[in-house]
Amino acid sequence: MTDFKELIANELYDESLGLEIDEIKGMIEIPADESMGDFAFPCFRLAKALRKAPQQIAADIAASAGGNKAFAKVENVNAYVNFFIDRAYFESEVINEVRTKGASYGKSEVGAGKKVIVEYSSPNIAKPFHIGHIRSTVIGNALYKLYDACGYDTFRINYLGDYGTQFGKMIVAYRKWGSEDELKEEPIKALLGYYTRFHKEAENDPSLEDQARETFAKLEAGSPEETELWKKFRELSLAEFNRVYGMLGIEFDSYNGESFYSDKMPRFIQELKDKKLLVESQGAQIVDLEEYDLGAAMITKSDGSSLYVTRDIAAAVYRKENYNFYKCIYVVASQQNLHFKQWKKVLELMGYAWEEDCVHVPFGLVSLSDGDDIKTMSTREGQVVFLEDVLNTAVSKTADIMREKNVQGVNVDEVSKEVGIGAVIFQELSNNRIKDYVFSWDKVLNFDGETGPYVQYTHARASSVLRNADEADLAAIAEGNINASYLASDSAYALCKLIYRLPEIVIEAADKYEPSMVTRHLVDIAQAFNKFYHDEHILVDDEEERRAKLSLVAVSKTVIANCLALLGISAPERM
RNA sequence: GUGCGUGUAGCUCAGUGGAUAGAGUACUUCACUCCGAAUGAAGGGGCCGUGGGUUCAAUUCCCACCACGCACACCA
């Protein structure tokens, strides 16, 4: 496909401007208002070099440019040179591109040969999967798909929180109050019950804490009884998590969690000692990061056991040594900003220059509204909304709507899952990831406006139009046999322009670790399609016109499906 | 207190060193004998937190302040 910015840059290039083609290309903007053209070149910056008023420069350039047949018009407004592309030319380029690339339209090879690890979701074993966990899970999955689409060799890690003193507590509590039967019945609920009971009872009986520490020490030492229990807790929890991952359509390449690295830490503690980075402070071993304004990174506790930072160091080195990543992305809440800064600084001080390739991708907090109060979620206090409940409610609401609308030829059970779950995922990916938000049932169950169902509906609508077309038309547009001059309308052209921009949006979204850029662009495309659909009748009598319009519908459908796929959402044909 | 982040329409949020700051939602209307109304169109609604600075040009960059959130050693 023609790179239109490059085309314009070539047209503008002149030695007297003192700018390279690439520099000119970088200066080209897309005007705020369509009436000002499709691309614009601002001349403010040239004023100094050329010693002329920017308005005059723009006027001069506009007067001499425009020879290429790709331009319908080149005009000057204020200090801008505005380019109007020939619509039919542009549209046939775009439509042809999408038609031939199909499901791979939007993808690129910018990351070919480079390995990218995405660590995401990473729930704590034995704790319920609540609405707060959806962020890392869904954002991480979208990032994986974005990097995959950019040609990177990707590897997905679920860094399970499957280790630590909490398991000492869990084992103590299970032995005191638990039973095999209730554990089998509803594992996470049972485990959570033990955990909360432990904390309640420990308030009156501090010796429980000591027992927990002892038990964890045994586990860490490899004691068979404790290990067996821990394994059971882990397996049962994982089975429940997998049910939710299944609903969300999410998979991982590795489930190596914290426990996997439990025996890999001594090497680094020794290394920190050798490199004179370790300092004793109040009985604990720390790396003093005061001079970097990062406080102290604790490496071992006063009882000698290890901590988060230490495990993360072991994990990072393991990954570097085994996967030799180009980039390792950690999709973890912004609450852990300090931890990641400390951890990166320690790696840097240890001499691991590749720590620069480790990227913390933070996201904002999800809280709950409790009347006028806003509370953070707390499993201990039972202040939680379970993700599975949210997904199920969204699905059943979708099923209700579908039955009400009585759409023919649809399997309500299947499609309501695609739409209901898609709605939840879409909602999660529609804002900048750094924003905090308060969970609201009303919002997550709203299917009007800029939502997943809106986009999916648009896709189903485009599918429906294509079903109504006859075979000969479909065969003709599959061959690219169309006359784009029938797509001269503003709405058809606006839609093509948005489709044209998708590949660069995907690259930028991956680059900025911001899936919402794709979500936003997808909404724009859906809006543009719906406007086109309303403004114009597609299945008209004139064959050439009908085929031109149908091919734009077909291309739109492909692009919407591709975008949804990047977000991890399916694109139903009917709903 | 220190560090990081956020502050744009009633609400939820996009956005950019430049041309008149945009969506959705809510509210008031209009459009299904017509390709799917989970749709489209029209209307009102804004000192872009406050005050300085840099710049030809600042809602955007820098500084200070205010409000809110998060973090700040034996949890992860």
For residue A405, say whether its CB is under 7 Å from any atom of strand B.
yes
CB atoms within 10 A of CB A395: 21
The secondary element (H helix, E strand) that includes residue A302 is: none
CB atoms within 10 A of CB A552: 28
DSSP symbol at A158: -
Q: Which of A217, A249, A281 is the last residue of a domain?
A: A249
Is A131 within the bounds of a domain?
no
Give me the domain span that covers residue A517: 397-427+446-567
Q: Are residues A70 and A213 part of one domain?
A: no
Taking the C1' atom of every nucleotide in all shown strands and the CA of A402, the nearest one is: B38
CATH number at residue A535: 1.10.730.10
For residue A564, say whether its CB is under 7 Å from any atom of strand B.
no
List strand B contacts in A 338-357 (CB < 7 A).
338-339
Instruction: Provide the greatest CA pair distance for chain A.
Output: 87
Q: Are residues A168 and A69 part of one domain?
A: no
The secondary element (H helix, E strand) that includes residue A153 is: strand A153-157
Predicted local confidence at residue A307, as pLDDT: 87
A199 is catalytic: no
A130 is catalytic: yes
Predicted local confidence at residue A373, as pLDDT: 73
A531 is catalytic: no
DSSP symbol at A36: G
Predicted local confidence at residue A572, as pLDDT: 98
Burial of A529 per CB tally in 10 Å (0-12, 13-18, 19+):
buried
> Which one is catalytic: A133, A320, A417, A521?
A133
Is A572 within the bounds of a domain?
no
**Cα separation of A480 and A555, whole Å?**
11
Predicted local confidence at residue A125, as pLDDT: 87
Q: Are residues A174 and A76 part of one domain?
A: no
**Cα separation of A565 and A573, whole Å?**
14
**Residue nearest B69 (alpha carbon to C1'):** A436
Closest residue by Cα to residue A139 from A570, A572, A566, A571: A566
User: Please, what is the average pLDDT of chain A?
Assistant: 93
For residue A214, say whether its CB is under 7 Å from any atom of strand B.
no
Is A363 within the bounds of a domain?
no
**Cα separation of A71 and A83, whole Å?**
7
Indicate the pTM of the whole model: 0.95
Predicted local confidence at residue A214, as pLDDT: 87
Give bridge partners of residue A375 from the DSSP assignment: A368
**Residue nearest B73 (alpha carbon to C1'):** A298
For residue A296, say whether its CB is under 7 Å from any atom of strand B.
yes
Count of structural domains within chain A: 4
Taking the C1' atom of every nucleotide in all shown strands and the CA of A454, the nearest one is: B38
Q: Are residues A245 and A286 part of one domain?
A: no
Predicted local confidence at residue A372, as pLDDT: 65
CA-only gyration radius of chain A, Å: 29
**Cα separation of A343 and A429, whole Å?**
28
Is A153 within the bounds of a domain?
no
Is A190 within the bounds of a domain?
yes
Is A151 within the bounds of a domain?
no
Q: Are residues A195 and A239 part of one domain?
A: yes
For residue A328, say whether its CB is under 7 Å from any atom of strand B.
no
Residues of chain A with pLDDT below 50 are none
Q: Are residues A411 and A478 part of one domain?
A: yes
Q: Are residues A526 and A455 part of one domain?
A: yes
Closest residue by Cα to residue A547 from A478, A500, A464: A478
Q: Are residues A289 and A231 part of one domain?
A: no
Taking the C1' atom of every nucleotide in all shown strands and the CA of A296, the nearest one is: B73
**Cα separation of A568 and A461, whole Å?**
20
Is A168 within the bounds of a domain?
yes
DSSP symbol at A529: H
**Cα separation of A118 and A169, whole Å?**
31
Among positive and negative, which fits the CA dihedral A437, A438, A443, A444? positive
Burial of A536 per CB tally in 10 Å (0-12, 13-18, 19+):
middle
Q: Are residues A298 and A172 part of one domain?
A: no
For residue A280, say whether its CB is under 7 Å from any atom of strand B.
no
Chain segment A452-509, per-residue pLDDT in tens: 999 999 999 999 999 999 999 999 999 999 999 999 999 999 999 999 999 999 999 9
Residues 6+ positions from A266 with CB-CB distance below 8 Å: none
Predicted local confidence at residue A91, as pLDDT: 96
Q: Which residue has the tokens 């208002």?
A: A33
Q: Which of A57, A85, A113 is the last residue of a domain?
A: A85
**Cα separation of A386 and A369, whole Å?**
15
Q: Which of A25, A57, A85 is the last residue of a domain?
A: A85
DSSP symbol at A206: T
Among positive and negative, which fits the CA dihedral A508, A511, A514, A519? positive
For residue A298, say whether its CB is under 7 Å from any atom of strand B.
yes
> Which one is catalytic: A5, A107, A127, A521?
A127
Is A365 within the bounds of a domain?
no
Strand B contact nucleotides, protein CB < 7 Å: 2-6, 12-15, 18-26, 34-41, 56-57, 69-76
Taking the C1' atom of every nucleotide in all shown strands and the CA of A531, the nearest one is: B40
CA of A237 to C1' of B11 (A): 39
CATH number at residue A59: 3.30.1360.70
DSSP assignment of A101-128, as one string? HGGGBTB--TTTT-EEEEE---PBTTS-
> Which one is catalytic: A130, A145, A397, A459?
A130
Q: Are residues A552 and A416 part of one domain?
A: yes
**Residue nearest B31 (alpha carbon to C1'):** A534
Q: Are residues A409 and A539 part of one domain?
A: yes
Q: Are residues A168 and A46 part of one domain?
A: no
Q: Which amino acid is at A527?
A: Q
